[in-house]
Amino acid sequence: MVKKTFEGLFHAHERISYRRLMAFATATGLLYVDKLDAESWVLVCVAFIAGEAAPKMAKAFRGQG
């Protein structure tokens, strides 16, 4: 059961990828130790998600995806 859950979290084709989880965990850790404020935490997460989505969007606009 644990192995199946772990593989589901980190499988490349699943909703939560390892990079997304690490960005979220890092930003949350920095928020917790007061090195990042709430507004910056949101900006970090949005910037990461937008940066990860940009190549996929460009591919879709070109008609390749």
Helix (H, G, I), strand (E, B) or coil at 12: coil
Q: Where are the domains of the chain?
A: 18-65
Residues in the chain: 65
CA 58, CA 17: separation in Å to the nearest integer? Answer: 20
pLDDT tens, position by position, 8-54:
666 555 555 677 778 788 888 988 999 989 898 888 878 877 777 77
- Per the CB < 8 A criterion, the answer to whether 41 and 30 are in contact is yes
pTM listed for this prediction: 0.51
